[in-house]
Amino acid sequence: MTTRDSDGPRVSGVSNFRDIGGLPAGPTVTRAGVLFRSGNLARLDDDGRGALRALGIRRIIDLRADEEIAYAPSRIDGLDVQTQRVPLFTGSVSSMFEEDLTLAEMYRRIVDGSAPRVVEVIRGLLVDQPVVVHCTVGKDRTGVTIAIALAAAGVDHAAIIADYARTEVLLSEARNRHILEYLRLQHPDAVNVRDLATRSPAEVMRALLDGLTERYGSAGEYLQAHGVSEDELRELQRVMLT
């Protein structure tokens, strides 16, 4: 059911699934088997459900909008998990393609426009573990919230950036080709389609983390500015780090 290689656990029917354990955080590292990230669970099969059961997953935090869930509902029947819905976009999913946003612009909108929901995700991480955080692809909404959580826990920025950038190599060429063909038919004049749909450039995440530092002092102080307490930050470090 669950096999492990250099890329970590495999969950059948789920793309871009990985454990966030082992990332350096000063003198320590993130715990294995606590926080996982992935794309959606709409194609989860029996083996995949068995893999999540074997990993002991207790909570799933779904960052997708209502329209995405209606189109591709999670196939988690039979799993003893709590599902937490935290739609992270302030507009519709299609709006980012219609507005032809850059990745950096979209990430700023999440940080600035969805801060209370980012806080909801952080608090969800503290309630139950192991926990899976996912959106549709596991790239942008998942990437931003996971990065903020890791940075607030004290994980080295270089490790956060590298984990974010891994998504680009974990998305299959067939998937990318199919989605790009569809999106270019829908948005023929858009110039940022490839980045929005398939890329996770290190420099974009580096800019996001640098922006949080410049504007707030740190990712932890960003969370505190939006209601997270010092006790909650300490609990995040306890949960996340060895």
215 vs 183: CA distance, rounded Å:
34
Low-confidence ranges of the chain (pLDDT < 70): 1-7, 90-92
Q: What is the pLDDT of residues 86-132, one digit of tens each?
A: 999 866 677 888 899 999 999 999 999 999 999 999 999 999 999 99
In tens, the pLDDT along 136-158 reads 999 999 999 999 999 999 999 99
pLDDT number for residue 222: 98
**8 Å CB contact between 29 and 241:** yes
Number of domains in the chain: 1
Q: What is the pLDDT of residue 95?
A: 80
The parent domain of residue 179 ranges over: 4-240
| Chain centroid offset of residue 151 CA | 13
pTM: 0.94
- Residues 193, 197, 201, 205, CA torsion sign: positive
Which pLDDT value is given to residue 89?
80
pLDDT of residue 4: 34
> What CATH number did the domain enclosing 149 receive?
3.90.190.10
Residue 171 neighbours by CB under 8 Å, 6+ apart = 15, 16, 137, 139, 198
